[in-house]
Amino acid sequence: MKIYVDADACPVKDIIISEGTNAAIPVILVTSFSHFSIAEQPSGVETIYVDSGADAADYRIMKLVSIGDIIVTQDYGLASLGLAKGCRVFHHKGFTYTNENIDQLLQTRYLSAMARKSGKRTKGPKPFTSEDREQFRELFKRAIAHNT
C-alpha cells in the first residue's frame, strides 16, 4: 500500500507525512512544477513534479495507483477515478469518498459549474478549520491503522 497526495493545495500534507512515515507506508506527493521546493522530505516520502496543466497531477496519480492504495484529494473527479480503480479516497476535510456519495458530489459540482456558466454566483467551499484538520487526522489514523 502507498499513499498518494494531490499535493498542490493540500492543507494536511504534514499530517499525511507524519502518520504515513510513522506507519512505514510510502507517501508520494504529486504536485506541479509551480510548487517546486528544495526542502528535504523525510525518508519514505517522495515528491513527483508534473506540468502545471489542468489535471496533470490527477493523470499521474491514476497512472501510479494500485488497488488498495490511499489517495488524498479535494478533486471529485480524481476521487471518482480512484474509487473505480479500487483505492480508498479521502478529502482533507475529514470525509471518505465512497461509491455511495461520489455521484451526488459530482452532480453538485456539475450543477454549480452550470450555474456559474449562466452568470449566477455560487458559494465557494467553507473555510478550512482546525476542526476539519482534527477530523482528517482521526479519519486518516484509523484508515492506516486498519491496514497495518
Percentage of residues in the chain with pLDDT exceeding 70?
97
Classify the phi-psi angles of 47: left when phi > 0, otherwise alpha if psi is within -120 to 50, otherwise beta.
beta
Q: Chain-wide mean pLDDT for the chain?
A: 89
Name 38's Cβ contacts closer than 8 Å, sequence gap at least 6.
none
Say whether pLDDT at 106 is over 90. Answer: no
Q: What digits encode the pLDDT tens for the residues 21-59?
A: 999 999 999 998 877 777 888 899 999 999 987 789 999
Percentage of residues in the chain with pLDDT exceeding 90?
62
- Terminal CA-CA length for the chain: 9
Count the Cβ atoms, other than its own, within 10 Å of residue 104: 10
Domains of the chain with bracketed CATH: 3-147 (3.40.50)
Q: Binning pLDDT at 50, 70 and 90, where does residue 86 land?
A: very high
Say whether pLDDT at 147 is over 80. Answer: no
